[in-house]
Chains A and B, each alone.
Chain A
Amino acid sequence: MNAYAKRLMWPVLILVALIAVNIITTGIDFIVPSVNDDRLGGAFVNILRRSAPLLLIALGMTLVIATKGIDLSVGAVYAIGAAIACQMIIDSSDQTAAGLVFSAIAIALVVTAVIGAWNGVMVAYFGIQPIVATLILMIAGRGIAQLITGGQIPKVQDASPFTELGRGAFLTVPIPIWIAALVLVALALLTRRTALGMLLESVGGNPEASRLAGIRSKGITVLVYLVCGLCAGLAGLIGAANLGSADANNGGQWIELDAILAVVIGGTALLGGRFFLLGTTIGVVIIGTLEDTIINVGLSSQWQFTAKAIVVFVVALLQSPEFRGWFLKPFKRKPAAPATAPAEEAVAK
């Protein structure tokens, strides 16, 4: 088993366990997709569809974290992206015009990309610590979104093609799943089939050494924050399209924390360096499945946060080689222990 598969093993096992719990409590229908109005449905497909915005944000976050950064502003950028698009659409006379919807989406994406790039400039060129640089927009961003919507919740007509972005389907697969899958594949190809991924890990490992080695680390840093902002804006558009409205205050609330959680569950260390887009994806699906599991096993709302904390705690422990070593020690055969333990440690490091 190579190091990559090993990283993925624990999150995958947790996900399988969660799915098993759901199948036991609600039956095999949980995992089997059904078709409704030419759109795939069923519990698990719904989870994937609802997880799409979180996945987009978590993928962007993974790249940022690979450069030893963090982006706390994604939830606010989500709200800004949603607010711009919805407000533009309700301000126009014909909400069903395709041209209007396309330009609203384009403007929202450009603005959120610029916001992301601004975060990157503050980090790379002004030397502000990422947590502080992005905290600024985390606090101010929702205010900006409220200014855009005038403190109201703009409601787009159901007939507007904009809602397709969240509710529609292409070849029966819900559009949010398509978008998230395409972004995942694009980012994976971009970082694994070109040198970009290696450059990212290099910048995250040691920005100064990377610069001396001839890597334009500042430009790369700005690029990843830009991508992260763009992903957050796209996530906001999907969320707003699903509801047909943009809620400046609650849209994507705490999504930055769920995204960081997903990245960590997926095996990417907050210290920067190596990153795992597929691990992040599994982390996102774990979080999405967990929310349904709480309802399906009949826990009351009061248990929601505690149950989430317990699962995250277990994942974090399983991810720790030190914990696994300590926990599994009594079960290991004595003669084998001295021979395998150092080797395993070396792989883990």
Chain B
Amino acid sequence: MFKKALAGIGAGALLLGMAACGGGDGGSEGGGDDGSLVIGFAQVGAESAWRTANSTSIQEAAKAAGHDLKFVDGQQDQEKQIAAVRDFINQQVDVIVLAPVVETGWTDVLQEAEDAGIPVVLADRGVEAADEALYVTRLGSDFAEEGRKAGTWAAETFAADADGTRILELQGTTGSAPANDRKAGFFEVLDAEGLNYEIVDSQSGNFTAEEGKAVMETFITTHGLDGIDLLYAHNDEMGLGAIQAIEEAGKVPGTDIQIIIVDGSTAGFQAGVDGKLNYIVECNPAFGPQLMDVLESVVAGDEVEKFTPVEEGVFDATQFEAELPNRQF
């Protein structure tokens, strides 16, 4: 019995070891004299087409620039990301890129990186303000600005809505930066513009189509859709799931209820072309080349701003069809 248990633990340990080094491929020679860098990149996961496009962009940009990228998929688990960052510190990489799955709980591991003298650059998502001294810069989307863009459109569209705008919101993963900021930016503008609105319900759909659809079904059975004017979904996977739920309830998404999504994947734009949603706020994943420039300046010791925004657009119903072929994810 004891022997079996030992064998089991051994097999498990072996497997975890395999999983742990399954991410990057070799290349321990470190930053050579040719200016090539060893970059440790702790990605959130592959939870959406957006994320996959982001990973691809960064991997291709690193390859094109001749850098050695150690890529670890965090599978949306902060523990895995923390373990990955510790691995990078042990391997003495030149620079660590972190796309934190949630905003809190990074102080210890970021401090360890600083103690080891390895600069940390945040990609895409941010961490809480208290940890601001522990990273060099954040390159990514301005989520609050995305929320404000969505809010601006909503405030204009529903300005003439005399009986008050009734809003449903599908939030992203609870505690994540995009969920917090897209919510805050959106309602900041609605309040500033003095729109008469009511939040009928607001729940997390965890950024997935599965939960977005399930939560929307519950919204529909609980509140009905008759008095609802607007659905604001923090990403397009959740929005697309919600569109299915609205259709299955016998309503017409985009007409019976107006829909705003953030992200703008091919599938999202296709739904827009089909008339199933009304406004898309872009969240651009293809910032790999821009990231490489930032990393090179950071390692060279140049002064960089604390935040570098990625360029992003907005699209309404008249622009969906023209923009669809340009989508990269």
List the interface of chain A (C-beta within 8 A of B).
26, 29-30, 36-37, 39, 41-43, 46, 50, 127-129, 131-133, 135-136, 139-140, 142-143, 146, 151-153, 155, 167, 239, 242-245, 247-251, 291-292, 295-296, 298, 300-302, 304
Would you give the 0/1 interface string for B191-225, flagging 1 where the beta carbon is closer than 8 Å to chain A? Answer: 00000000001111010111001110111011000
Known pairs A127-B4, A243-B244; list 16 more (Cβ under 8 Å): A36-B248, A36-B250, A43-B221, A43-B222, A131-B8, A133-B8, A136-B15, A142-B75, A151-B55, A152-B52, A153-B237, A245-B209, A295-B222, A300-B202, A301-B174, A302-B175
With contacts A50-B214, A142-B75, A251-B210 known, is A129 near B174, CB below 8 A? no
Q: Is B278 an interface residue (CB 8 A)?
A: no
| C-alpha gap A265/B8 in the complex (Å) | 28
Nearest 10 A/B pairs, CB to CB: A301-B204, A132-B8, A43-B221, A129-B8, A250-B208, A301-B174, A132-B12, A295-B218, A243-B209, A249-B46
A143, B221: Cα distance in complex, Å: 36
Please give, as numbers and ranges, the residues of chain A lying within 8 Å of B208 by CB-CB distance: 247, 250
Flag if B8 contacts A128 (CB, 8 Å).
Answer: yes
From the candidates A42, A135, A245, name the one contacting B12 in the complex (CB within 8 A). Answer: A135
Q: How far is the CA of A146 from the CA of B49 in the complex (A)?
A: 12
Contact among B16, B22, B52 for A143, CB-based, below 8 A? B22
Chain A interface mostly:
helix
How many Å lie between the Cα of A33 and that of B146 in the bound state? 40
| Complex-state Cα separation, A297 to B318, whole angstroms | 40
What A residues does B4 contact at CB under 8 A? 127-129
Q: Quick check: B49 and A153 within 8 Å, CB to CB? A: yes
Give, as a whole number of angstroms, the nearest-CB distance from B244 to chain A: 7
Contact of A153 among B48, B55, B75, B248 (CB under 8 A): B48
Most buried by B among A139, A153, A248, A250: A250
**Once bound together, how far apart are the Cα atoms of A129 and B4, in whole Å?**
7
Distance from B172 Cβ to chain A, minimum over Cβ atoms (Å):
10
**A/B interface sample: 29 pairs, CB < 8 A:** A26-B221, A30-B221, A36-B250, A39-B248, A43-B222, A127-B4, A128-B4, A128-B7, A129-B5, A132-B8, A146-B46, A151-B46, A153-B48, A153-B237, A155-B267, A243-B213, A247-B47, A247-B210, A249-B46, A249-B75, A250-B206, A250-B208, A251-B210, A291-B218, A292-B218, A295-B201, A301-B171, A302-B174, A304-B204
In angstroms, Cα B237 to Cα A142, docked, is 19
B residues 272-324 with Cβ under 8 Å of A? Answer: none
Minimum distance in angstroms from B103 CB to a CB of chain A = 13
* A135 vs B218: C-alpha distance when bound (angstroms): 33
Which chain A residue has the least Cβ–Cβ distance from B175? A302
Interface size on B, residues (CB 8 A): 46
The answer for the CA separation of A30 and B224 in the assembled complex, in Å, is 12
From A42, A132, A242, B213 is in contact (CB under 8 Å) with A242
Interface residue? B100 (CB, 8 A)? no
User: What is the chain A residue whose CB lies nearest that of B56?
Assistant: A151
Q: How far is the CB of A318 from chain B (nearest CB, A)?
A: 26
The answer for the CA separation of A104 and B16 in the assembled complex, in Å, is 32
Chain B residues positioned under 8 Å from A298 (CB to CB) = 201
When the two chains form their complex, are residues A295 and B248 in contact, meaning their CB atoms are under 8 A apart?
A: no
Q: Determine which of A42, A131, A291 lies in contact with B221 in the assembled complex, contact meaning CB atoms within 8 Å.
A: A42
Is there a chain A Cβ closer than 8 Å to B241's Cβ?
A: yes
Interface centre among A30, A136, A143, A248 (most CB of B within 10 A): A136
Whether, in the assembled complex, B57 has its beta carbon less than 8 Å from a beta carbon of chain A, the answer is no
> Is residue B152 contacting chain A, with contact meaning CB distance below 8 A?
no
* Pair A36/B249 contact, Cβ less than 8 Å: yes
In the bound assembly, the distance between CA atoms of A247 and B75 in angstroms comes to: 12
Query: Mask for B3-45, Cβ within 8 A of A = 1, else 0?
Result: 0110111011001100100100000000000000000000001
Chain B residues closer than 8 Å to A140, beta-carbon distance: 15, 19
Contact residues in B for A291 (Cβ distance below 8 Å): 214, 218
Q: Which residues of B contact A135 (CB under 8 A)?
A: 12, 15
Q: How far is the CA of A36 from the CA of B55 in the complex (A)?
A: 41
Which listed residue (A131, A139, A243, A295) contacts B15, Cβ 8 A?
A139
Q: Are A249 and B45 touching (Cβ within 8 A)?
A: yes
B76 is an interface residue with CB less than 8 A from chain A: yes
Known contacts A129-B4, A135-B12, A301-B171; decide if A244 and B22 are in contact (CB<8 Å): no
A136 with B11: CB separation less than 8 A: yes
- List which B35-86 residues lie within 8 A (CB) of chain A: 45-49, 52, 55, 75-76
From B47, B203, B213, A249 is in contact (CB under 8 Å) with: B47
A26 to B5 alpha-carbon distance, docked (Å): 51
Chain B contacts for A152, CB-based, 8 A? 49, 52
CB atoms of A46 and B217 under 8 A apart? yes
